[in-house]
Structure 1
Amino acid sequence: MKKWQVLSSAALLTLTLAACGAEEEAADKSTATNSAETTETAQFPLTQTDALGKEITIEKAPERIISLIPSNTEILFGLGIDEQIIAVNDNDNYPEAALAKEKVGGMEFNLEQIIALQPDLVLAHESNLYSFNEEAIAQLEAIGITVFVVKDAKTFEETYTTIEKIGQMTNKVQQAADMITSIKTGIDEIEVKVADLEEKSVFIVVGTAPDLYAAGQETFINEMLEVLDVENAVPELGWPMYSTEQFVASNPDAILVTYESDIEAIQTNDAYSEMDAVKNDQVKLVDGDTTSRQGPRIVEGIESLAEAIYPEAFNE
């Protein structure tokens, strides 16, 4: 072989090796980038604004957490946090692991018990404030216990923000992002499924004794109805009380209740006997937990409503 051929071969080999090395380096960088994206972490100390408008600083990812409402608990477990949860609300029933946690109260909370457990983070809720008030919060903060009051979300977007904040405070940023993506994907799939279904009107009863209360506009469960393209027969905002006359006049296609006892209360009341939903046996029970808790089971809540309203499409 001639000398110039040897040199050319050597040069070609060098260039080939260099190209391979560049490709491997690029692949390594891509892998590193993807790894960074899937292991995103929070930066501590971290400051978040809670539902009271207070700036709460978290010095490090909490190791001892008390959750005072089921929705917060479901978010924490959904983020993969178990060991750090040391106590929960008396009404926590999901996931099953929550049942084994120490309980610190349901409507009222045992402040002495909370203090004795020495949490480094108490996740309260805006709806708790009638019992777990600012005085109780100040008492805990005075001895160095961090309290974060979670907003009482009225929309999915507000719930996503809550999930993001809890994810950041617990150093589960990527898990929070994944949870939100999963919820949005599930909602998209349901919207496709109901796109061609006949629109119906629905009245959601949230209690009948001693007075009948309904779920109106700008409530969490109303947004679930919007996903299903269902008309809420209650035009008022919030949770209005309805008289017998108002309820009968609403005459929806379906009546949904969140307590099983309310089915009989409605079906056996002679005043309601001429309502279309009563005559057509369209008084149905829906899951009161998933339709009210602002957490990771939003899709399950929508599906519970859908199965009652459109059994032909969702009870397959």
Structure 2
Amino acid sequence: MKKWLPVLLAAGVLAACSDSTEETTEAPADDQEQEESAEEPAESDSSFPVTVTDANGDEITIEEQPDAIVSMLPSNTEIAYALGLDEEIVGVSDFDNYPEEAMDVEKIGGMEFNVEKIIALQPDVVLAHASNPGGADGLQQIEDAGIPVVVIENAMTFDEVYDTIDMIGQVTGTTEEAEQIVADMQAGFDEIAEKASAISEEDRKSVLVDVAGPPEMYVAANNTFIQEMLDLINAENVMADQEGFVPLTEEEVVSRNPEVALLTYGDFVEDAVAQWMGYEGFSQVTAVTNEDVYLVPSDPVTRSGPRLVEGTQALAEAVYPDVFAE
């Protein structure tokens, strides 16, 4: 697991790994029906054919608005469902768990995707991801079968998430819906920032966001959307001098001495807060002595999609409950 950790963090699938199903090589049944979603389907777009430049720098042309889509990462899937494409999604990864309807869609594999199954689903487009561990060979096989593959960038900032939503909107003919999602996200972030402006410099707290847990911790540093979340809520990231998701030793936790520790892995580690607070060497860490160690939901905080606003609100309520708790 540890060798995959940076990839899983980037893809926003870490929490899902604990209960993902095993990959199989069976092709899906031809008569399998998809559960109907309560969301309105995306309206037809007349702008096709459309050509986009994906994260690999390749120009991909989609001739017609897709009726069948395979999404290889949960972040892509969440965006697609938010765009109203629930009826078009025919395949998702083993890690997909949101929205609930996605859990009933045909699975195409986990850390290594099943090329044969993807091809058998006959999608009009495959939404891949720059962090897909299955590799270029598998994607090339899909392309060789005549299926367009659009590699979505590994979004690490809010702006990159907006670009990702826009890209998927272009590819699927839902550009207006994509624009609305971005506008709603920006409005949500603005509302949080307005509340955070009431926090004085002397009340500003230092925070550590732990996404893996001791003894081999991975924490959120600079140039991530978690850093942007902390900036937005007027909190200091004690890891701001590093970049990305980085490993951290227990000695470094003590030396950086966060006032608040936020743990994103509570969904798959029992008694995560108690374990963290009871870890040898942490007794003098301010977050422990003040009992300011909290669980925050993993997917909205670590997954690059529309729920980042929800994740930011969760961080805000944990760090500054008097300001943000509803």
> Under a length normalisation based on structure 1, what TM-score does the superposition of the two structures give?
0.84
Amino acid at match of 1:108: E
1:87 aligns with 2:83: no
Q: Which has the higher helix share?
A: 1
Amino acid at match of 2:86: D
Aligned to 1:245: 251
CA distance in 2, matches of 1:101, 1:278: 42
Could you report, residue by residue, the CA deviation over 1:76-99 in whole angstroms, capped at 9, with x for unpaired residues?
A: 110111111001111111111111
Amino acid at match of 2:324: F
Q: Choose the corresponding residue for 2:62, options 41, 58, 63.
A: 58
Could you report, residue by residue, the CA deviation over 1:190-216 in whole angstroms, capped at 9, with x for unpaired residues?
A: 001111123111011111254122111
Matches within 5 A, 1:1-316: 41=45, 43-128=47-132, 130-131=133-134, 133-197=135-199, 198-234=203-239, 235-260=241-266, 261=269, 262-316=272-326
3-state secondary structure, aligned to 1:303: helix
CA distance in 2, matches of 1:216, 1:85: 34
Aligned to 1:32: none
Shift of 1:281: 0.7
Higher CA-based Rg? 1
3-state secondary structure, aligned to 2:211: strand
CA distance in 2, matches of 1:265, 1:145: 47
Asked if the contact 1:52–1:149 (Cα under 8 Å) also holds between the matched residues in 2, the reply is yes
Task: Show structure 2 runs of 5+ residues with no match.
Answer: 1-42
Aligned to 1:14: none
CA distance in 1, matches of 2:218, 2:164: 27
CA distance in 2, matches of 1:96, 1:40: 25
Change (3 A) 1:127 1:55: same
CA distance in 1, matches of 2:251, 2:289: 17
Shift of 1:236: 1.0
3-state secondary structure, aligned to 1:43: coil
3-state secondary structure, aligned to 1:93: coil
CA distance in 2, matches of 1:155, 1:186: 16
3-state secondary structure, aligned to 1:127: coil
Shift of 1:304: 1.1
Pairwise CA RMSD: 1.4
Amino acid at match of 2:142: L
3-state secondary structure, aligned to 1:289: helix
Asked if the contact 1:42–1:168 (Cα under 8 Å) also holds between the matched residues in 2, the reply is no
Asked if the contact 1:47–1:55 (Cα under 8 Å) also holds between the matched residues in 2, the reply is yes
> Under a length normalisation based on structure 2, what TM-score does the superposition of the two structures give?
0.82
Amino acid at match of 1:204: V
Shift of 1:246: 1.1
CA distance in 2, matches of 1:209, 1:245: 11
Number of equivalenced pairs: 276
Shift of 1:42: 5.6
Shift of 1:313: 2.0
CA distance in 2, matches of 1:86, 1:183: 27
Could you report, residue by residue, the CA deviation over 1:140-188 in whole angstroms, capped at 9, with x for unpaired residues?
A: 1111011111000111111111111111111111111111110000010
Shift of 1:294: 1.1
Asked if the contact 2:206–2:259 (Cα under 8 Å) also holds between the matched residues in 1, the reply is yes
Asked if the contact 1:203–1:256 (Cα under 8 Å) also holds between the matched residues in 2, the reply is yes
3-state secondary structure, aligned to 1:207: coil
Task: Show structure 1 runs of 5+ residues with no match.
Answer: 1-38
Amino acid at match of 2:275: A
Change (3 A) 1:40 1:116: closer
CA distance in 2, matches of 1:294, 1:123: 14
Give percent identity, aligned residues only. Answer: 45
